[in-house]
Amino acid sequence: MADTDADPKDAPAPSNASPWDALRRFTNARIALGRAGSSLPTAPLLAFNLSHAQARDAVHQPLDVDALHAALQEAGFDTLDAESAAPDRDHYLRRPDLGRKLNDESTARLRDHEGKGFDVVFVVADGLSAYAATRHAVPLLQRMRSKLDGVRIGPVVVARQARVALGDGIGELLRARIVVVLIGERPGLSSPDSLGVYLTYEPRAGRSDAERNCISNVRPEGLPYDAAAFKLLYLLNEAVRLKLTGVSLKDDSDALLSASERTTLPPA
C-alpha cells in the first residue's frame, strides 16, 4: 500500500525529465519545451503564438502622442512634437529613408522654436515599438534628470514614424551639443517592448550610424532603468570630454558601477 504521508518533493524525477529544465529559469529563450508526439505541447505552442502576435502588434500599434506628452509634462519636461516625412505606418515600414528626415511642418516648427542651443536634447520616438517608448522613456528620463543638474536640457521632442537618424535633424535645428534618441527597437519573440538609446555628438543631417553610440534592451526585464541611466551618463560625459561619439567612444561604464557617479556634464 502507498505511503500517503510521503513528501512529494522526495518523489523520484520523471524518467522523461530533461537536463535543460534546470536552465530555463536563467533565460527567456525557448529551451526544454518538451514535446507531444512529434510536435510541441499545447502550452508552449500557444505561448509562441501569443509572443508572435505581441511582436506584430508592437510594430503596428500607433504611438499615443497625447498621453506621452502629458506624462512628460507631468514629470516636469517641456515638450515639442515632430513627425518624419513618412505620411503613415505603411510608408514608414516600406520606406526607411522617409523615417530619417523631418516633414516640412516639423522642420518649420523646430526652426522657429525660441532657444539659444542646448547641451542635450532628448527625442522619444516610436520606432518599431511604440510600446517601448510609452512604457520606458519617461522612467528613464526621470532618472537622468536628477543626474544633469546645471545642464541645459532642451524640450523633449516626441517623434512619430521615426528612425534613429531623425534625431540628427532635430538636434541640428535645436542647436543641441548632443542628441539622445529613445526609440522602440525591433520587437523579438521575448521582448516586444525593448527600448534603444542612441546618442550623437554635434548632430546634423547626414551623420552615419558609426558616429553614434547605442544602449540596447532598456526595460525592467533587460537593462534596468538605473543601470541604463548610469551608462548613458557615462557616455554623455565621455562624449563631451572627447568631443565625439561612435566607434571611437568605448563604453567602459561596467567597470565603474561601484564608483561614485558624476552628476553633471563637464563644461564645453
105 annotated binding-site participant: no
Whole-angstrom Cα distance, residue 27 to residue 188? 14
Whole-angstrom Cα distance, residue 69 to residue 116? 23
164 annotated binding-site participant: yes
CA angle 167, 216, 129 (to 5 degrees): 65
Per-residue H/E/C for 79-121: EEEEEECCCCHHHHHHCCCHHHCECHHHHHHHHCCCCCCEEEE
Question: Which distant-in-sequence residues (6+ apart) come within 8 Å of 255 by Cβ?
Answer: none
As given in the structure block, the three cell numbers for residue 245 are 561619439
Whole-angstrom Cα distance, residue 233 to residue 111? 28
As given in the structure block, the three cell numbers for residue 213 are 553610440
As given in the structure block, the three cell numbers for residue 20 are 535543460
214 annotated binding-site participant: yes
User: Which residues contribute to the annotated binding site?
Assistant: 164, 185, 214
Residues making up the annotated binding site for adenosylcob(III)alamin are: 164, 185, 214
